[in-house]
Structure 1
Amino acid sequence: MTGTSTVAELVQRQWGDHRVGLRDRSRVLSHHQVAAGAAARAALLVDLLPRGAEPHLGVLLDNTPEFPLWLSAAALAGAAVAGINPTRRGAELARDILHTDCRVLVTERARLPLLDGLSLPGIRVLVTDTDAYGDLLAPYAAAKPGDAVVGPVGPRSRMLLSFTSGSTGAPKAAICSQGRLAAAGASLVAHFGVREDDVHYICMPMFHGNAVIADWAPALAGGAAVALRDRFSASGFLTDVRDFGATYFTYVGRAVQYILATPAHDDDRSHRLRLGFGTEAGPVDAARFQARFGVRLVEGYGSSEGGAAIQRTPGTPAGAIGRAAAGEDLAVVDPATGDERPAAQLSPEGRLLNGDEAIGELVNRGPNPFEGYWRHPEADAARRRGGWYWTGDLFFRDAQGYLYFAGRTDDRLRVDSENLAASMIENILARWPATTGAAVYAVPDPVSGDQVMAALALPEGRPFDPAAFADFLSAQPDLGTKMTPRFVRVLPRLPVTATNKVHRVALRREGFRCGDPVWWLPEGEDLHRLLTAEDVADLERSYEEQGRGDLLGR
């Protein structure tokens, strides 16, 4: 492992290793078979890519063995993988594929309906669970790692194009090189003591950086096995962990909450799992998870861009993310001036007493591995202002140097660990004939991240029709699965500032506790219903139980 500088070298190291390397419910491959399968796919890719084309392929798959096989193949070939988010729809989905210059798209039959009617000129679509796909691969079965490349294979070679939403417009594709991905894997191997007899359970979607950077890469670097779940299932989590002999997994906060909601049993600690690594579980749920399953959850902060990282270490206070990772010069600064913010003052209960002066944007003032966005120089410049890396996230720091997440500097919403752009949701809601205006903004989730709230202006005297609204939403081809508003505030007109801009600050401050009617979509229900005083009281209690009551304000 020492000195390995590329993902390709890590894949090549699997050659000749006949231990179990990759499996799901229907397939078991040795490390050697993974390397051989990757070599065959790399050779096929080289033949399929047109001469002079960018060496990029899109992968629109559930977590099947084909996903890591194509990641490995891309590394061997010197190509880059764009993970395509299946919750995107219509023209927005086509835009993601075309923007990243993919000339090959790897998908499966279950995802083909997403491509119906899309214009994808010059793109070869491979459908993995078909006879035609097997026939296409067959001539390359004897390929070996290194036989076929489309360009230089080195630490600077592009490896991933990971979409990450900004405040406005379409998602940006963050570049991750082979060197950075290999280094991230090696760092986690050292940090968590990954061993060759470990099994990394991947239940988070592999189009997201969480699964690839924090789960697949350390397994590859440490020689551990990978076990896949096609899509996350809370009810199937413990069964998978036991059947696969899993020792490590990654998560996002909502997933942890779903697992905790499953019925408890006397044998909940009967498994090999020892560690979970992720973001946004929240201290309350992390403690509950450890108490029930005997598994420690380690919280971290990072992004697909790789510009700043925070690691939770023993002794980190409740509510804090942790301290800056080794070698990073992180500071909380005034976004307007760049001046460092003073330390936070916290009450004995952990309440922030000087938020106005302590909260600022988190920046990395030292060298960092941010490698830019694909074909987006404006976004690159915004991230690298003044030689610093600007995260776009608000934090505060206590007197001991521990960092606490406080929110976001723009109109992004982070729902189930996915960033959403408010403007894109507004554009969809504006199509509803019943409304004369729409504003979308974040309200805090009781556990972690945000929930989507929309303010809709309806003509005087026109009632909100939840059934008609549901029918409208279901008919929108570009409405992603996480974009549906949890709360809908109905008012005769949108509040505006003196410059005639929508007064988002006021909307966010009032949230769902406002003077106008609010309709909400409780978990598991299909139609919005009127939010009552009893509902508000129940919601407030849920925030307090999770230690997030302060985020509601007032």
Structure 2
Amino acid sequence: MVRRMATQGATVAELVQARWADHRPGLWFEDETATHHQVTAGAAARAALLADLLPRGAEPHVAVLLDNTPEFPQWLSAAALAGAAVAGINPTRRGPELARDILHTEARILVTERAHLPLVEGLDLPGVRTLVTDTEEYAALLRSYEGAKPGEHTVAPVEPRSRVLLYFTSGSTGAPKAAICTQARLAGAGRSLVRFHGVRPEDVHYICMPMFHGNAVIADWAPALAAGAGVALRRRFSASAFLADVRRYNATYFTYVGRAIQYLLATEPAPDDHDNPLRVGFGTEAGAVDARRFAERFGVRLVEGYGSSEGGASIQRTADTPPGAIGRATPGDDLAVVDPATRTECPPACFDARGRLLNGDEAIGELVNRGRSPFEGYWRNPEADAARVRDGWYWTGDLFYRDAAGFLYFAGRTDDRLRVDSENLAAAMIEHILSRWEAASAVAVYAVPDPVAGDQVMATLALHEGASSFSPSSFTHFLSSQPDLGPKMIPTYLRLVDEMPVTATNKVHRVALRRAGFRCPDPVWWHETPTAPYRRFTPSDLTDLLSRYRDQGREDLLGR
């Protein structure tokens, strides 16, 4: 009965209301536990508070600047009940950029906590009222609404097309864009993932990815809500605390993005790593090598999926998906790999007997959805809308190639394409190969301008704690033993770091890496020609190299 009621809602509000009579434990955070009913009652109280505080005529938006505390899912549920939308605010933003994000959403209420108050003190936020959750003033406000029931207090009609999320997507240039997600899309995504992963009411979803990001809400919180499953919150991701949390909360499901899996694999192995209740991890960017290592060490299957942040395209993994592929297009999507310059479909990928892609230059293109797209637009950003939807097609901004059977392979972002000696390469493909090196805990590949024309390959490597100092001969031997590593894929520059620079969502901070290039404070190794051995990059090398860039009129390309 619980599952039937939970999965039928056409809106998030209906899914929230279905938990009103559910008195099972449903939320865990540190030493706190709450039932589904208590969480729903808290959401109803916050919906009533929102209805009273939001000025008449204001957009029904509330900005949420919080870590993963119980307040975050309660405000998500409150917004759904009230016909409002939560705008997740990234706490790594600072100063005018942070103020811009809040004001861009036109939110008139900002919900935050004392730990984040220093971020907003001194910011010019006209017309924005701040609520600080861990204060007596806030508690007193909520006490006035303790008797509220779901659906009693709204600020706008609650309909399938009502906005419920505004979540920022980052890019390599320009300010972050706030993607719109409606109640119908979020509820539909939750129901779809329930079916795909077989989520049960007795499951516990461990939410350790930041909830201001779409991944945690759409792929973790929404299916838990749709199935009537519980959620366990981690304030911020911690690789060292991951397994202890999973055992403590009896968690069965989690999501990940970016380098989270690499960080977990970099922790000290223990003989009882297999002793955990997890059934599945769902996310992106783990890579086939790390997914296999994770399954071997923890006994947990990782399911790599793909869905553009804005909802415009998705790929579904099936049992017959070959190694390295993401899957096929989700039924109903007309996905194609297209050459952006010609608007024509790229030919199928060709592989040699060892699985090496032979025609990457012509097979790799941008993934587009030529059919009906679920993309719901960006908030107050028609230029970004027009860039995303062109000629009636949804352009994902991601590079893929497709084999003859229709399986799709991720090849990176469009701004992660390199052109080396007139050949187009995808950074993600090179990263996949370099990640096989056992000494590396994390790998990032990106382009630096060639002094004459095109690009050169640069890689940043973070070594495992137990790894010895970098051995150029050992690394060269590793490169020569990789059957699918083409000669133009070999990095010209190697930057060695103790820890990979990442964004707030654990994705590699490629913009910072590209801008620094070989002019960085960390040790850099390089080879001047493809056949030369790697050696340390010295100040004298830098002086000579910059002179070559100046002679060719390309020095201004560095640091972009």
Q: 2:498 aligns with which of 503, 522, 526?
A: 522
Percent of residue pairs identical: 67
d(CA) in 1 for partners of 2:122, 2:429: 36
- Pair 1:214–1:524, CA change in 2 (3 A): closer
The Cα shift of 1:523 comes to: 2.2
- Identify the residue that residue 51 of structure 1 maps to in structure 2: 56
- Pair 1:247–1:203, CA change in 2 (3 A): same
Q: 1:5 aligns with which of 10, 13, 32?
A: 10
**Which amino acid counterpart does residue 531 of structure 1 have in structure 2?**
V
Q: 1:333 aligns with which of 338, 345, 349?
A: 338
**Which amino acid counterpart does residue 116 of structure 2 have in structure 1?**
R
- Identify the residue that residue 138 of structure 1 maps to in structure 2: 143
- Identify the residue that residue 318 of structure 1 maps to in structure 2: 323
Report SS of the residue matched to 1:117.
coil
- Identify the residue that residue 364 of structure 2 maps to in structure 1: 359
The Cα shift of 1:450 comes to: 12
Q: Is residue 64–residue 86 contact of structure 2 (8 Å, CA) maintained in 1?
A: yes
Q: Is residue 416–residue 427 contact of structure 2 (8 Å, CA) maintained in 1?
A: no
Report SS of the residue matched to 1:140.
coil
Report SS of the residue matched to 1:401.
coil
Matched, 1:209 2:202: no
- Identify the residue that residue 475 of structure 1 maps to in structure 2: none
- Pair 1:391–1:36, CA change in 2 (3 A): same
Q: Is residue 411–residue 429 contact of structure 2 (8 Å, CA) maintained in 1?
A: no
Q: Is residue 333–residue 371 contact of structure 2 (8 Å, CA) maintained in 1?
A: yes
Structure 1: gaps spanning 5 or more residues? 414-441, 452-484, 498-502, 540-554
Q: Is residue 64–residue 228 contact of structure 1 (8 Å, CA) maintained in 2?
A: yes
| Greater alpha carbon shift after TM alignment, 312-321 vs 254-263 | 312-321
Q: Is residue 253–residue 282 contact of structure 1 (8 Å, CA) maintained in 2?
A: no
d(CA) in 1 for partners of 2:19, 2:535: 53
Q: 1:60 aligns with which of 52, 57, 65?
A: 65
d(CA) in 2 for partners of 1:203, 1:263: 20
The Cα shift of 1:116 comes to: 2.5
Q: 2:415 aligns with which of 386, 410, 416?
A: 410
d(CA) in 2 for partners of 1:210, 1:63: 13
Report SS of the residue matched to 1:349.
coil
- Identify the residue that residue 524 of structure 2 maps to in structure 1: 531
The Cα shift of 1:446 comes to: 7.5
Report SS of the residue matched to 1:185.
helix
- Identify the residue that residue 307 of structure 1 maps to in structure 2: 312
- Identify the residue that residue 251 of structure 1 maps to in structure 2: 256
The Cα shift of 1:111 comes to: 0.8
d(CA) in 2 for partners of 1:300, 1:123: 38
The Cα shift of 1:150 comes to: 0.4
Report SS of the residue matched to 2:26.
strand
Q: TM-score, normalised by structure 1?
A: 0.78
- Identify the residue that residue 40 of structure 1 maps to in structure 2: 45
> What pairs with 1:259-270 in structure 2 (closer than 5 Å)?
259-270=264-275
**Which amino acid counterpart does residue 33 of structure 2 have in structure 1?**
V
- Identify the residue that residue 478 of structure 1 maps to in structure 2: none
Matched, 1:188 2:164: no
User: What is the aligned length?
Assistant: 464
> What pairs with 1:433-452 in structure 2 (closer than 5 Å)?
none
- Pair 1:270–1:255, CA change in 2 (3 A): same
The Cα shift of 1:313 comes to: 2.1
Structure 2: gaps spanning 5 or more residues? 1-5, 419-425, 436-443, 461-489, 502-519, 528-532, 537-560
Report SS of the residue matched to 1:410.
helix
d(CA) in 1 for partners of 2:397, 2:445: 24
d(CA) in 2 for partners of 1:118, 1:411: 35
The Cα shift of 1:303 comes to: 2.3
**Which amino acid counterpart does residue 13 of structure 1 have in structure 2?**
A
Q: Is residue 342–residue 358 contact of structure 1 (8 Å, CA) maintained in 2?
A: yes
**Which amino acid counterpart does residue 137 of structure 2 have in structure 1?**
A
- Pair 1:12–1:412, CA change in 2 (3 A): farther
d(CA) in 2 for partners of 1:168, 1:265: 42
**Which amino acid counterpart does residue 222 of structure 1 have in structure 2?**
A
The Cα shift of 1:445 comes to: 9.8
- Pair 1:450–1:329, CA change in 2 (3 A): farther
Q: Is residue 61–residue 111 contact of structure 1 (8 Å, CA) maintained in 2?
A: yes
- Identify the residue that residue 505 of structure 2 maps to in structure 1: none
Q: TM-score, normalised by structure 2?
A: 0.78
> What pairs with 1:80-479 in structure 2 (closer than 5 Å)?
80-410=85-415
d(CA) in 2 for partners of 1:443, 1:330: 22
1:393-426 CA-to-partner distances (Å, cap 9, x unmatched) read: 111101111111122223799xxxxxxxxxxxxx
- Pair 1:275–1:487, CA change in 2 (3 A): closer
The Cα shift of 1:167 comes to: 4.3
The Cα shift of 1:52 comes to: 0.4
**Which amino acid counterpart does residue 357 of structure 2 have in structure 1?**
L
Q: Is residue 109–residue 128 contact of structure 2 (8 Å, CA) maintained in 1?
A: yes
- Pair 1:239–1:114, CA change in 2 (3 A): same
The Cα shift of 1:336 comes to: 2.1
The Cα shift of 1:362 comes to: 0.4
d(CA) in 2 for partners of 1:412, 1:266: 41
**Which amino acid counterpart does residue 69 of structure 1 have in structure 2?**
Q
- Pair 1:448–1:135, CA change in 2 (3 A): farther
